[in-house]
Chain A
């Protein structure tokens, strides 16, 4: 009974972490694809997307089984360290944006800038190489972070198949939502999602760094929820503190 509860809590956090990471990255990729499709036509844009997805899937298929053969303690220590860095970077950025110290990621502004850049490069006859390359690069570069998340989270939890499936579902969900809302991606609460991803990645980073160094967590996998709580409170405190300091600085300046 305890084992079942402990396994399911680990799975819930894994699914949440992979799903949210994929959603955030795919929203950014979709903005580029929409800009390419609307400006230069959809055929080459879709070809670029398909080629990028193929290469990314090949990377998961190539590196996934290789990672599984690494001893679990070493794998979890390395993955834990990578996730700690990755998670702290995401959470730092999300806290700075929420507190107003860094400007928000504006998908509308990015879309307009991309459209202007694509229009300036002129139209090409036949197959549009620029559209293909732009769509490929957008999806491949954003997707590479998804691949790292899927491989590290999936292999360390011994659930690579589940992580890859969740990533696939997230890609479909974002693509369908993107088509339905027709390029109004700025309405997606991207920073809140980014903060949630940061918290989940730091949680896994902490947990697996500990496991890799033979730290025995009280309650096993259920400790993940405790760590999520700690980091959520710290994030909230960080945003509140920085907002207050910002307000004080602005008041002194005026």
Chain B
């Protein structure tokens, strides 16, 4: 029997949902998204190079996906 108060259980459930939703078994993708945001913020907001940001953004996303797929392939062996 779970003796935790309802509010606490709801809060834990809410936190667990977002943890599974954003991180789950692919923490590398969470880190990759933060890296993408950081790099594009530097390019666009600080350096003001719009063209570079347009090219680099999808490239970083593709690279992140590639790294995650490579990691999955290696662990499946």
Which A residues fall within an 8 A CB radius of B? 77, 81-82, 84-86, 88-89, 91-92, 95-96, 101-102, 144-145, 148, 202, 205-206, 209-210, 213-218, 227, 230-231, 234, 238, 242, 245, 249
Contact = CB atoms under 8 A, between A and B. Distances in A.
Interface string B59-73: 001101110110011
Interface in B1-35: 17, 21-22, 24, 26, 29-30, 32-34
A209 B69 contact: no
Contacts of A85: 22, 29-30, 33
Contacts of A86: 21-22
B73 to A, nearest CB: 6
Contacts, number: 91
Given A77-B37, A202-B61, A209-B40, A88 B53 contact: no
Contact of B62 (A95, A217, A234): A234
Report whether over half of chain B's contact residues are helix, strand or loop; otherwise say mixed: helix
B65 A91 contact: yes
A215 B73 contact: no
A101 B70 CA distance: 11
A133 B68 CA distance: 36
Nearest to A141: B17
